[in-house]
A and B are shown apart, each in its own frame.
Chain A
Amino acid sequence: MNPEASLASPEASAPRRAESTRWFAGVLAHGAGTMFFVALAFAAGWYRMRGLWVLPAVAPSVLPPCVAGAFLLGVGPLLLRASRVDASTPRRALPWLGGALVSGAGFLATQAAWLHVMFWYRNLRVPEGGAFASAFYGLSALQVVHVGLVLLAVLGAAVSTWRGGDARDAARRALAGWLFTVATFGLLFLAVYLP
């Protein structure tokens, strides 16, 4: 680091620096969260390799998670647009934030429906389903919790915008959270949902 550059840090940029600090912390936290999911995916991969991945006759189709994934992918561009609206017209972010919430809710609904069908109609139960059922429900639930947290952040940004605030920074942070949930869903898809 250049000492002069450090010396030149003006006090006037303090809010900007604080926002950058929050952004950096968010990226680190999401990175750590990804490590958490990598560890879970490692466990699921291990069971597959050891032949403990006894896919039941109800072997899940990849179609429902693909639909859920499409909903999840849809959230990102909407958040990106929300984070780039003009500072003078912050309320223009509302439709984008609303769209992101709807798309996120679509993801949650698809996942919930799929897990519901697997549990009640395909009789995939814990503990009878062994390691596969444990990973299927356990890891899906953990990922959904993370998506839910990101959507709560988006909801907070939307409420703040609706009240007249500038929520572009919040949308930017939520975007990092969205990237994280997409990455974890990708891990989940590869490790658990792929037949």
Chain B
Amino acid sequence: MRAGWVRALWTTDHKQVARQYLWGGFGFLLLGGLLALLIRWQWAWPGQPVPGLAWALPESRGALTPPAYTVLFTLHGLVMIFFAVTPLLFGALGHFVLPLAIGARGFAFPRLSAAGFWAYAVGGALVLASFAVRLGPASAGWTSYPPLATPAFTPGVGQTLMTVAILCVGVSAFSYGLNFVVTVVRCRAPGMTWGRMPLVVWGLFYGAVLNVLFVPVLAAATLLLLLDRVAGTQFFIAGAAAVGGGGDPIVYQHLFWLFGHPEVYILILPAWGMVGDFVAYFSRKPAHGYRLTAGAMGAVTAMSGLVYAHHLFTSGLSPVLGRAFMVLTLLISLPAEVMFLNWLMTLWRGSVRLTSPMLGALATMIVFGLGGITGLVLGAVATDVPLHGTMWVVGHFHLTMGAASFLAVFAGLYFWFPKMYGRALHEGLAKAHVLSSAVLFVGVFGGQLAAGYAGQLRRLYDPYQYTYLKPLLPLNQWTTACAFLLGASQLLFVGNLVWTLWRGRAAEPNPWNVGTLEWTCAASPPAPDNFATVPVVLRGPHVLSQPDVQQQLGRDWMGQAEVAPLGGTE
């Protein structure tokens, strides 16, 4: 018989795996957030010692040196995308919710879930280990573009460890992607038709499809880079550093962005699903245009691999290709607008309840809308060329991939936490956390947009070496103040979480009064096999405020598997 700690670590219960991802994701979110604050410090007070950092950088007495700064922005991006936000969305929330929401007893391949988590954990350990190696951690930017990421320009084991770590999280993402797709297709409860799935399941499903399709492309690019680093191959090494003619670094950019742009949608599709559901639940109305919303998410998924080259407009791409990718990029915004309009129509004349998940969903809508609009100019060649490589790009993608995904993670966590742990978080603190985070996100990333519009290039160690950027110092200091306040506002969540896990009150069985299977057919927290008996699904997830239900049951919601007293309610 296996020891208890082995059973606890090698668990195949999807809910336990979700909790493992949750804590791992939080750990890396903290690390990535601290790195971001150090970057902001450098932009507000360049070259000034950071209080309390002298132990790490004794030679500069705590001031960030150019190499240290390069490490910071490299690791911040890599950690946040691959080790924090994606694992929180898919690893934590997706693992927890998906089987429950479709009435399955677990994932199709439970051991694959566990293996995926441990691949992620090994990757994370490699990232942490890279701090201890000679020449320090990775420092070639989060995209690891060659030739910068090749040994010719970034020697040392740190960059290699990070390359292997990316392969590890790729294995993890592929494993849960495969598991999610197979589980949704093959393991739905009787009666859980495609048209009855909650929108969050649609979002997770589409995101998982993108993982299965495009993570292998990242794996191919990363593997070639790894071979260049350790086996002496010449895929991406060029110019004076090359032997025997060398390869071409631009091909890496194509492969990277063929994954990288769908990754944006991988991060946002589950968020869209949550927004679609929460807006309906907390407006007490069926989701407006449910099929259209699910279809629009599908359209975005289908097009997501066809727009990637707008990241390469300034790489010497053929102007003909540039125009083609510009048109496709602008086209992909149309289904997103359809979804947005459906959410607004759902809100329209609804009985809106500003709960913490609803505030999170609304905040996600707003910051994603801002990020989407500011992205249009980067999709068009003429406006991308002057803005490329500026802080505008940084502000744009932080609004879409950072703020929107982050707020959606917390919307989801506030919604499902009572189901996850059987305890209720403090609602007031949760609302304060969501609201303050949303406002400060706009402050931080709005400031970045403004700085970029004024011409500040990203990744500059000291922007004020350039005379034309000197006037931006007050703006960057203001943005840094917002960033530090944003960091401080996370203490609202940490305090709430610690208190709730320690002394929190027991959660009600269905605190949000919704009809989905996880709330109406499973205990809080659910049993190991989720349901006493597998539910038979009779209707969709958004049966809300229907007059006949109110008349028969005295409440405004109905369970997806609940038998109507007089029958007939769909």
User: Which A residues lie at the B interface, using CB under 8 A?
Assistant: 1-3, 6-7, 9, 17, 20-21, 24-25, 28-29, 31-33, 35-40, 42-43, 46-47, 50, 52, 54, 126-131, 133-135, 137-138, 142
Segment of B136-144, B187-195, B293-301, B326-334 engaged in the interface with chain A? B187-195
Contacts of A28 in B (CB 8 A): 178, 181-182, 212
A133 to B192 Cα, complex, angstroms = 53
Contacts of B234 in A (CB 8 A): 126-127, 129-131, 133-134
A39 to B213 Cα, complex, angstroms = 11
- For residue B388, give the distance in angstroms from its CB to the closest CB of chain A: 22
Q: List 6 A-B contacts (CB under 8 A).
A: A6-B192, A9-B190, A21-B108, A42-B254, A47-B251, A52-B248
> What bracket does the count of chain B residues touching chain A fall in?
35 or more
Contacts of A47 in B (CB 8 A): 247-248, 251
Q: Name which residue of chain B comes closest to A8, CB basis.
A: B190
Contacts of A54 in B (CB 8 A): 244-245
Q: A17-B186, A128-B244, A129-B244 are in contact. Are A25 and B217 (CB under 8 A)?
A: no
Cβ A40 vs Cβ B246 within 8 A: no
Interface status of B302 (Cβ within 8 A of chain A) = no
Cβ B246 vs Cβ A21 within 8 A: no
Interface status of B233 (Cβ within 8 A of chain A) = yes
- For residue B232, give the distance in angstroms from its CB to the closest CB of chain A: 5
Interface status of B22 (Cβ within 8 A of chain A) = no
14 further contact pairs, Cβ within 8 A, besides A6-B191, A32-B216, A126-B233: A6-B193, A7-B190, A29-B178, A37-B220, A43-B235, A47-B251, A50-B248, A52-B246, A128-B243, A131-B248, A133-B233, A134-B228, A134-B234, A138-B235
A111 to B500 Cα, complex, angstroms = 61
Q: Name which residue of chain A comes closest to B536, CB basis.
A: A7
Q: A3-B193, A25-B108 are in contact. Are A127 and B186 (CB under 8 A)?
A: no
Interface status of B307 (Cβ within 8 A of chain A) = no
- For residue A133, give the distance in angstroms from its CB to the closest CB of chain B: 7
Q: A7-B190, A127-B244, A129-B244 are in contact. Are A36 and B220 (CB under 8 A)?
A: yes
Cβ A7 vs Cβ B185 within 8 A: no
A40 to B235 Cα, complex, angstroms = 10
Q: Name which residue of chain B comes closest to A54, CB basis.
A: B245
Interface status of B266 (Cβ within 8 A of chain A) = no
Map CB proximity to A onto B342-386 as digits: 1 under 8 Å, 0 otherwise.
Answer: 000000000000000000000000000000000000000000000
Most chain A beta carbons < 10 A, residue from B186, B224, B228, B245: B245
Contacts of B248 in A (CB 8 A): 46-47, 50, 52, 131
Interface status of B409 (Cβ within 8 A of chain A) = no
Interface status of B219 (Cβ within 8 A of chain A) = yes
A37 to B224 Cα, complex, angstroms = 12
Contacts of A33 in B (CB 8 A): 216
Contacts of B185 in A (CB 8 A): 24
Interface status of B430 (Cβ within 8 A of chain A) = no
Q: A32-B178, A128-B244 are in contact. Are A134 and B214 (CB under 8 A)?
A: no
Contacts of B246 in A (CB 8 A): 52, 130-131
Interface status of B215 (Cβ within 8 A of chain A) = yes
Interface status of B242 (Cβ within 8 A of chain A) = yes
A138 to B235 Cα, complex, angstroms = 10
Interface status of B174 (Cβ within 8 A of chain A) = yes
Q: Name which residue of chain A comes closest to B537, CB basis.
A: A3
- For residue B171, give the distance in angstroms from its CB to the closest CB of chain A: 11
Cβ A46 vs Cβ B251 within 8 A: yes
| Residue in A25, A40, A137 whose beta carbon sits within 8 Å of that of B224 in the complex | A40
Q: A24-B182, A28-B182, A39-B220 are in contact. Are A130 and B243 (CB under 8 A)?
A: yes
A134 to B235 Cα, complex, angstroms = 7
Contacts of A38 in B (CB 8 A): 217
Task: Report the 9 A-B pairs with minimum CB-CB distance, sorted nearest first.
Answer: A130-B245, A39-B220, A134-B233, A130-B244, A36-B216, A131-B247, A35-B216, A127-B243, A128-B244
A70 to B215 Cα, complex, angstroms = 31
A46 to B254 Cα, complex, angstroms = 10
Map CB proximity to A onto B207-238 as digits: 1 under 8 Å, 0 otherwise.
Answer: 00000111111011101100110011111010
A69 to B366 Cα, complex, angstroms = 55
Q: Name which residue of chain B comes closest to A34, CB basis.
A: B216
Cβ B215 vs Cβ A43 within 8 A: no
A127 to B238 Cα, complex, angstroms = 12
Interface status of B497 (Cβ within 8 A of chain A) = no
Contacts of B245 in A (CB 8 A): 52, 54, 130-131
A51 to B125 Cα, complex, angstroms = 41
Cβ B190 vs Cβ A6 within 8 A: yes
Q: Name which residue of chain B comes closest to A53, CB basis.
A: B245
Contacts of B126 in A (CB 8 A): none
| Residue in A32, A126, A134 whose beta carbon sits within 8 Å of that of B212 in the complex | A32
Interface status of B109 (Cβ within 8 A of chain A) = yes
Cβ A36 vs Cβ B217 within 8 A: yes
Contacts of B193 in A (CB 8 A): 1-3, 6
- For residue A53, give the distance in angstroms from its CB to the closest CB of chain B: 9
| Residue in B192, B221, B232, B243 whose beta carbon sits within 8 Å of that of A39 in the complex | B221
- For residue A47, give the distance in angstroms from its CB to the closest CB of chain B: 6
Map CB proximity to A onto B244-262 as digits: 1 under 8 Å, 0 otherwise.
Answer: 1111100100110010000
Cβ A126 vs Cβ B232 within 8 A: yes
Q: A7-B191, A130-B243 are in contact. Are A39 and B233 (CB under 8 A)?
A: no
Cβ B233 vs Cβ A127 within 8 A: yes
Contacts of A32 in B (CB 8 A): 174, 178, 212-213, 215-216
